[in-house]
Amino acid sequence: MIALTGLGVDIVKIDLRCLRQEEGGTRNPLGLRPLIQFAKTYAASVIVEGIETEDDAQQARECGATCLQGYLYSGHSAPDIVAERG
């Protein structure tokens, strides 16, 4: 932990998929809150990546994430656009 303070970290990015429980594919919000709080002690911005649903987004916000990133916010991918135009 002491090594982290010397790095001058501005942003920490947490991949929500690493918190997925193997059985059933559900998320474990109990593990997210302490990770975000820990990250906030070293960085002003904490991005949670892997947001796929509104529930994911709500959990990340409630746990203290400052930014969200993932499929929910990505819009159409190139293959989706081609299929729509096809």
Cβ atoms 47, 12 nearer than 8 A: yes
Number of DSSP helices (H) and strands (E) in the chain, helices first: 5, 3
Q: What per-residue confidence (pLDDT) applies to 81?
A: 47
pLDDT tens, 19-57? 765 445 555 556 889 989 999 988 889 999 999 889 999
**Mean pLDDT value of segment 57-84:** 78
Q: What per-residue confidence (pLDDT) applies to 86?
A: 45
- The domain segmentation of the chain, as residue ranges, is 10-40+49-85
Q: pLDDT over 70 for what percent of the chain? A: 65
Residue 5 tokens, joined? 């303070």
More confident residue, 65 or 29: 65
Max distance between CA atoms of the chain, in angstroms, equals 55
Query: Which sign does the torsion angle of CA 50, 53, 54, 58 carry?
Result: negative
Q: What per-residue confidence (pLDDT) applies to 66?
A: 94
